[in-house]
Amino acid sequence: MKKTIVIQLISVYLRLSIGIVYLWEVADRLGILGANGQPHVGWGDWTHFLSYAEKVMAFLPGGLIPFLAIIASVGEAGFGLLLVLGLFTRFAAVGSGLLSGAFAISMAISFGIDAPFAYSVFALSAGSLLLATLPAYRWSLDGLTLRHHQMSSKLTELTTVS
């Protein structure tokens, strides 16, 4: 298999795995995956998620934490959806890298450096930033948009030459 095809396949795998993780976590905190205490459910509702967020961000003023939990959830949902669709992929990957990097640092401050490593949060951040460096995103809406733009440009060139 050619190196470029392998890189393209890995980029799709990376994009989808990051996006699905974000969407899964947001679904969990909204209770979509089931109630708290059920198998494979981490929080099960907003209240349990907010309790966790308070522990992760214990070093911040308490009144700020609910707002930041909402911002993080909106960011995760937005970046997750954009990555799964492959739309504005570079923007979503950079946002994901910064958001997960901030989460990793918060975990390290509140729980110790082992916590973000145990949950691969630094790896999520690094993978997101690596995804942002790729020159193109094949098999994505970004890729379709780029191909459409390139075809339109070629068509314009052909019609202006005539």
pTM equals 0.88
Place of tokens 């916590």: 115
| Both structure tokens of 64 | 């700020």
pLDDT score of 65: 98
Neighbour-count burial of 94, counting CB atoms closer than 10 A to its CB (0-12 exposed, 13-18 middle, 19+ buried) = middle
Tens digit of pLDDT for each residue in 131-155? 999 998 988 999 888 665 566 666 5
Ordered by start, the domain boundaries in the chain are 3-161
pLDDT score of 152: 60
Tens digit of pLDDT for each residue in 19-69? 999 999 999 999 999 999 999 999 999 999 999 999 999 999 999 999 999
pLDDT surpasses 60 at 162: no
Residue 151: CA count within 13 A, CB half-sphere: 6
Closest by alpha carbon to 83, among 40, 117, 127, 119? 127
